[in-house]
Amino acid sequence: MTKEQLEVATFAGGCFWCMVEPFESQQGIKTVVSGYTGGHVENPTYEQVCSHTTGHTEAVQITFDPTIFSYEQLLTAYWQQTDPTDAMGQFADRGDSYRPAIFFHSPEQQAAAEASKQALQESRRFSKDIVTEILPAVAFYPAEDYHQAFYKKNPVHYERSHEGSGRAGFIRENWEG
């Protein structure tokens, strides 16, 4: 596999700790990096992003082989990890640094994301509107090392956060039934 055949996708869906494992476990995913994007501060720290003064949101950047796992499949996996009706954060994590967003890297990704969002809206799975933003990708800054693959490094804390935030229950209630 040459580098030219790989693509990049960037998704924000609340706490980035909970956005890695669902993608990393899929065939065709090469890397999933937790980081920050969408803001006006270069190389922000976690503390700066948490201050809600940088404009950044926590996100994951995924490098993938589209011949094995397509962008459309990534979108499906993304929706199933989020509450797409909540623009003010995700689950227990509140504020703009936790807002849901799809950051597209090409016109094809933009079109696919918009079509996917429209299909979800039309499905009436949710009684509220789908408010996840679809935005052009901008600079992405990897988070500090201790945030990378957090679910592997700190499985007990990760599970407690995944359950305690309300994310796991929301997924069970809205996506697994």
Measure Cα distances from 81 to 24, 47, 78, 125, 147 in Å. Answer: 13, 24, 5, 14, 18
Q: What b/e readout covers 81-100, taking b as 16+ CB neighbours within 10 angstroms?
A: bbbbbbbebbbebeebbbbb
Element housing 133 (H / E): strand 133-136
**Token pair for residue 103?**
């950051």
Annotated catalytic residue, options 15, 29, 60, 137: 15
User: Residue 160: what are its φ and ψ, rounded to 5°?
Assistant: -60, -40
Please state the separation of Cα 41 from the chain's center in Å: 20
Whether 18 is catalytic is no
Residues classed as catalytic: 15
